[in-house]
């Protein structure tokens, strides 16, 4: 038996409530039908007059009330009342996701048109990242940022709103201007290998033009599947290395495709608002298939309170039945 916010562990125990009434009626019925010796009234009064206990004023009604209260509270305690509260959704089999974000100087290139307005790659990165992060309710999400160096901007957490706010506040150029994709992937992989979640994922958002660092991105991608980690990549930018004419900063999408292929994930290219929506939905669908979320329930037992009140009622009943001198 349960109501919103309330539950009984053993609701059938409530069937005991009318038991005293049943016993009372049964006893009266037995007394009415039973034969036996009847003591004359005069003799009975004579025998009891010397040792009669004086009743307390109002004690009969109060005693009956306390007796019933004690019994009802005992039955309620046996039924196991408890409050029920649903906790935030938690992953049933566990899912940890780290977003590795490229904050190099090339991300300042304004080769996007988002919602009809010119926008930079970093604007697109934050738009894509925020859309993906906010959909990850029930997962642990973390942030790694990289340029010349890589840093953990947000630890793995269920608080997707806090992670999303951190992403929005990160300035371009905070960790240098070059692009060390290998360093960013390596740090993200290290964080996930420390995790015990059965489903672990890296989502890399970059223009793919690796030009710094000592760690080979492909080498990191080769390690990932053996460690139980998948890598998804999102390429940001319009002009790629094959059509680069000396203007702007090229996007190496082929490298991002290769990283995703080796890492057991998929690659997506974002050049327009439509691409942005498609990539967000596709990754959401792929990642959601890794594990289903469930809601955990927290219960607080209330039966000790009912049992305690029943004890107090019994104590009061005993006080009323104490002989009055």
- Number of neighbours of residue 125 by Cβ within 10 angstroms: 25
> Which of the residue ranges 39-43, 181-185, 297-301 would you say has the lowest mean pLDDT?
39-43
- Number of neighbours of residue 314 by Cβ within 10 angstroms: 17
pLDDT value of residue 242: 42
Entry pTM? 0.58
> Can you name the residues that pair with 112 across neighbouring β-strands?
119
pLDDT value of residue 46: 41
CB 250 within 8 A of CB 241: yes
Tokens of 266: 């998929």
- Owner of token pair 């069937």: 15
Domains and CATH numbers, the chain: 2-86+302-320 (no CATH), 90-294 (3.40.50.410)
Q: Which of 99, 49, 301, 73 lies closest to 204 in space, CA to CA?
A: 99
- Owner of token pair 């080796």: 262
> Which of the residue ranges 79-93, 196-210, 224-238 would you say has the lowest mean pLDDT?
79-93
Q: Is the pLDDT of residue 106 over 80?
A: no
The whole-number average pLDDT for the span 196-203 is 86
CB 186 within 8 A of CB 150: yes
């Amino acid at each position: 038996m349960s109501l919103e916010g309330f539950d009984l562990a053993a609701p059938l125990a409530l069937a005991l409530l009318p038991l005293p009434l049943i016993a009372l009626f049964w006893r009266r019925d037995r007394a009415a039908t039973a034969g036996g010796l009847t003591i004359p009234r005069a003799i009975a009064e004579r025998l009891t007059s010397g040792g009669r206990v004086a009743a307390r004023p109002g004690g009969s009604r109060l005693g009956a009330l306390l007796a019933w209260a004690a019994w009802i509270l005992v039955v309620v305690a046996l039924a196991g009342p408890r409050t029920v509260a649903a906790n935030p959704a938690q992953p049933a089999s566990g899912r940890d996701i780290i977003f590795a974000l490229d904050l190099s100087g090339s991300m300042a290139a304004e080769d996007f048109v988002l919602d009809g307005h010119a926008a930079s790659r970093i604007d697109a990165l934050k738009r894509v990242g925020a859309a993906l992060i906010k959909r990850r309710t029930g997962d642990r999400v973390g942030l790694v940022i990289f340029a010349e160096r890589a840093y953990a901007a947000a630890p793995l957490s269920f608080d997707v709103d806090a992670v999303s706010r951190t992403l929005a506040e990160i300035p371009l150029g905070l960790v240098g201007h070059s692009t060390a994709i290998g360093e960013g992937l390596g740090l993200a992989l290290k964080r996930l290998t420390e995790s015990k979640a059965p489903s672990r994922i890296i989502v890399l958002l970059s223009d793919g033009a690796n030009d710094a660092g000592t760690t080979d991105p492909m080498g990191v991608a080769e390690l990932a599947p053996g460690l139980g980690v998948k890598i998804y990549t999102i390429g940001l930018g319009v002009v790629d290395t094959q059509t680069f004419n000396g203007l702007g900063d090229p996007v190496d999408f082929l490298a991002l495709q290769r990283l995703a292929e080796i890492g057991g994930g998929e690659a997506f290219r974002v050049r327009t608002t439509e691409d942005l929506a498609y990539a967000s939905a596709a990754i959401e669908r792929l990642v959601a298939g890794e594990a289903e979320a469930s809601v955990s329930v927290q219960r607080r037992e209330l039966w000790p309170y009912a049992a305690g009140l029943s004890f107090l009622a019994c104590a009061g009943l005993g006080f009323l039945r104490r002989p009055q001198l």
